[in-house]
Amino acid sequence: MTAVVPDFRLDGKRALITGAGRGIGLAIAKTYAAAGAEVTLCARTGAEIGATAEALRAEGLRAEVLALDVTDIAAFAAAVRGRPAFHVFVNNAGTNRPKPLSEVTEEDHDAVMELNVKAAIFCAQAVSGRMVAEGVAGSVINMSSQMGHVGAANRTLYCASKWALEGFTKALAVELGPSGIRVNTICPTFIETPMTKPFFENAAFKAAVLSKIKLGRLGQVDDITGAALFLASEASALMTGSAVMLDGGWTAD
């Protein structure tokens, strides 16, 4: 008997990725396009995502751009209403302001929570609402973190935001399950991206991070794309309300 090979292709799927200008979001968008999806890259940086979309189209792939700030809830909702429902949504835009709680300001709190929690919730509301209205089954992927499962010094705001996202994901999975919409998180460890690169210039900080990662290395954006493709595809058809830990073993002890 021939085994059935899981289908990781995304042909005929429409995928929206926020924070797609660089780093993890950009890598996921490229992977989805290569897997056959029509990708919409969303970021504030119109020039960056425009260049990426143009390069993808030059390869015969399908890509378009949505240049806006996801913290503008009304603008994002209007943009989603003006498009057919997406089959895959990667809620990836996020930020961090690492510092001791004693130094955290209201502006720090608002910057992290507005993007990591409020925008994530209302972006998911807009996209999933359109999916339900059009009867489209699909996948919502919230980009969380290992810090949504553990704590760390100087990460009070970030941990609070990612623990909130984990709870939101589970509740939304329960809510949207009857509509055939799966909701999961990806939880990376420290990944080398343009946003994190300055932190690793501190040798002591880098050493402390590596001491917690059992595989002994920092993550790369390509370490995330396989899980993102799995969650977007029919290969994960029975998975919802779960967290995919890509933490190199950080949370194992």
The answer to whether the CB of 145 falls within 8 A of the CB of 188 is yes
Q: Is 32 a catalytic residue?
A: no
> CA 247, CA 144: separation in Å to the nearest integer?
11
CB 117 within 8 A of CB 164: yes
Q: Out of 86, 158, 190, 230, which one is annotated catalytic?
A: 158
CB atoms within 10 A of CB 236: 20
Q: At what angle do helices 23-34 and 46-58 cross, to 10 degrees?
A: 20
CA atoms within a 13 Å half-sphere pointing along the CA-CB vector of 169 = 30
Q: Map residue 150 onto helix, strand or coil.
A: coil
* C-beta neighbour count of 212 within 10 angstroms: 18
Q: Which 3 state secondary structure label does DSSP give 177?
A: helix
Q: Show which residues are catalytic.
A: 158
